[in-house]
Chain A
Amino acid sequence: MIYKVIAKPEFRKFIDALVRENTSFGPRQVDTAANGNPIYQFMPVSSVEEIEFDYTATASSAKHFFLPFREELSRFSFNDSDFKQHIAYEAEPVVLIGLRACDISALNILDDVLLNGHYPSPYYLAKRKNTFVIGMDHLPLPDCFCKSLAHHTVSTGFNLFCSDIGEKYYLSINSSKAFTYLKEFQTEEPSYEDNCLLTERRKLISRSFQTEVDVTSLPSILDIEFDSPVWEKWGAKCLNCGTCAMVCPSCYCYSVEERFDIDLKGASRNRKLYSCNLVDFAVVAGGHNFRPKNGDRLKYRYYHQHRGFAENANQQICVGCNRCGRACLAGINPKDVINDLRMEKESCMICVSQSPART
Chain B
Amino acid sequence: MKNPVYTFEKLKFASFEFTCCEGCQLQLANREASLDAFFSLLDVRTFREISSEKHDDYDIAFVEGSISRSDEIERLQVIRKQAKILVAFGTCACFGGVNSLKNRFSTEECIAEVYDGQPIETLPIRKISDIVQVDLSIPGCPVAKEEVERIVVSLATGSLVTLPKYPVCVECKEQLNTCMFDLGEICLGSITRAGCNAVCTSGKTPCLGCRGHADDINFPAFMELVKERGLSVSDLQEKLGFYNAFEAYRDDET
B174 touches A70 (CB 8 A): yes
Interface size on B, residues (CB 8 A): 45
Within 8 Å CB of A278, what residues of B? Answer: 165-166, 170
Which residues of A sit under 8 angstroms from B2, Cβ to Cβ? 80-81
Which residues of A have CB within 8 Å of B249?
none
Complex CA distance for A33 and B216, rounded to whole angstroms? 30
Q: What residues on B are CB-neighbors of A240 within 8 Å?
A: 166-167, 214, 216-218
Q: Are A39 and B216 in contact (CB under 8 A)?
A: no
Q: With A239-B217, A246-B174, A327-B179 as given contacts, are A264 and B1 in contact (CB-CB < 8 Å)?
A: yes
**Consensus secondary structure, chain B interface:** loop
CB-defined interface of A30-41 with B at 8 Å, one 1/0 digit per residue? 110111000101
Instruction: Work out how many contacts link A and B, with CB atoms closer than 8 A.
Output: 130
Within 8 A of B (CB), among A223-249: 236-243, 246-247
Q: How far is the CA of A41 from the CA of B170 in the complex (A)?
A: 17
Whether A246 contacts B5 in the complex (CB less than 8 A), given A33-B182, A239-B217, comes out as no
Q: Which of B6, B169, B178 contacts A264 (CB 8 A)?
A: B6
Partner of A83 from B5, B40, B190, B225 at Cβ < 8 Å: B5
Q: CB distance B215 to A279 under 8 Å?
A: yes
Please tell me which stretch of A1-9, A255-263, A300-308, A347-355 contacts chain B, meaning at least 4 of its Cβ atoms lie within 8 angstroms of it.
A255-263
Contacts A39-B182, A246-B174, A279-B215 hold; do A241 and B167 have CB atoms under 8 A apart?
yes
Across the interface, name the chain A residue whose C-beta is closest to B36: A263
Q: Does B47 contact A (CB under 8 A)?
A: no
Q: Please judge, given known A-B contacts A39-B178, A329-B190, A330-B225, whether A82 and B4 are in contact too, CB under 8 Å.
A: yes
In the complex, what residues of B have CB within 8 A of residue A83's CB? 4-5
Q: Which of A326-344 contact B (CB under 8 A)?
A: 327, 329-331
CB contact list, B160-209 vs A, under 8 A: 165-167, 169-170, 173-174, 176, 178-179, 181-184, 189-191
A16, CB-defined interface residue at 8 Å = no
Given A236-B221, A278-B166; A262-B3 close (CB under 8 Å) = no
Q: Which of B80-88, B117-125, B149-157 contacts A (4 or more CB under 8 A)?
A: B149-157
Interface residue A112 (Cβ < 8 Å from any Cβ of B): no
Whole-angstrom distance between the Cβ of A207 and the nearest chain B Cβ: 29
| Residues in chain B near residue A264, CB distance under 8 A | 1, 3, 6, 8, 37, 41, 153, 156-157
Interface residues of A (CB under 8 A from B): 30-31, 33-35, 39, 41, 43, 59-60, 64, 69-70, 76, 78, 80-83, 236-243, 246-247, 259-264, 267, 273, 275, 278-280, 292, 294, 327, 329-331
Task: Name 22 interchain pairs, CB-CB below 8 A, sorted by A.
Answer: A59-B176, A69-B173, A70-B174, A80-B2, A236-B218, A239-B217, A240-B166, A240-B214, A241-B170, A242-B166, A243-B179, A246-B170, A247-B173, A260-B153, A264-B8, A279-B216, A280-B166, A280-B215, A294-B218, A329-B181, A329-B190, A330-B224
Q: Tell me the B residues contacting A by CB distance below 8 Å.
A: 1-6, 8, 34, 37-38, 40-41, 149-150, 153, 156-157, 159, 165-167, 169-170, 173-174, 176, 178-179, 181-184, 189-191, 214-218, 221-222, 224-225, 228
